[in-house]
Amino acid sequence: MIIKELKDGAKLSIGETVNLEVQFVSLKKDEKNKLGRHPDEEEAYIILSGEAMLLLGEEQQKVKKGQLVYVPANTVHQFTSLADDFAYVYAATWPEELKGRK
C-alpha cells in the first residue's frame, strides 16, 4: 500500500506501481504544463479547481472544475491556466513493453 499527501507534485510512478502513473499538479494564472505527446500512453485528467485552456491535438477547449478529460495516445496536449488556483490529477498507463523506456 502507498499513501501520499495530496500536494503539488505528489506522484505515484512506475516502479512504485506496475504500469500506472498518477500525479497532482497545480498551476498559477498563465502558467503552462509541459507539452506532451506519448505514442502508447492514454491519460485521464480530473479538474479539481479553476479553469484552463486545453490544447488537444489541433483544437483548444476551455476546461473547468468538475470535468474529466480523456487524452488518447499519440495526441499533443497542454494546459494553460486561466486562474490562480487551477489544479488537476492525472492518471496514465503504459503498455508493458514501454516500461523500460520511462
> By the 8 A CB rule, do 94 and 41 touch?
yes
Q: Higher confidence at residue 73 or residue 15?
A: 73
The pLDDT assigned to 16 comes to 85
Q: Is 2 part of a structural domain of the chain?
A: no
Q: In which domain, by residue range, is 20 found?
A: 11-101
Q: Is 35 part of a structural domain of the chain?
A: yes
Q: Is 1 part of a structural domain of the chain?
A: no
Strand partners, 1: none
pLDDT greater than 60 at residue 101: no
Q: Is 55 part of a structural domain of the chain?
A: yes
The domain total for the chain is 1
Q: pLDDT tens-digit profile of 12-67?
A: 887 888 888 899 999 999 999 999 998 888 999 999 999 999 999 999 999 999 99
Q: Which residues contact 101 (CB under 8 A, 6 or more apart)?
A: none
Q: Is 25 part of a structural domain of the chain?
A: yes
The pLDDT assigned to 96 comes to 61
Q: Which residues contact 59 (CB under 8 A, 6 or more apart)?
A: none
> C-alpha dihedral over 59, 82, 10, 57, to 10 degrees?
10
Neighbours of 19 (CB within 10 A): 14
Q: Is 78 part of a structural domain of the chain?
A: yes
Residue 15: left (phi > 0), alpha (psi -120 to 50), or beta?
A: left
The CATH number that applies at residue 25 is 2.60.120.10
Q: pLDDT tens-digit profile of 43-57?
A: 999 999 999 999 999
Q: Is 71 part of a structural domain of the chain?
A: yes
Q: Is 36 part of a structural domain of the chain?
A: yes
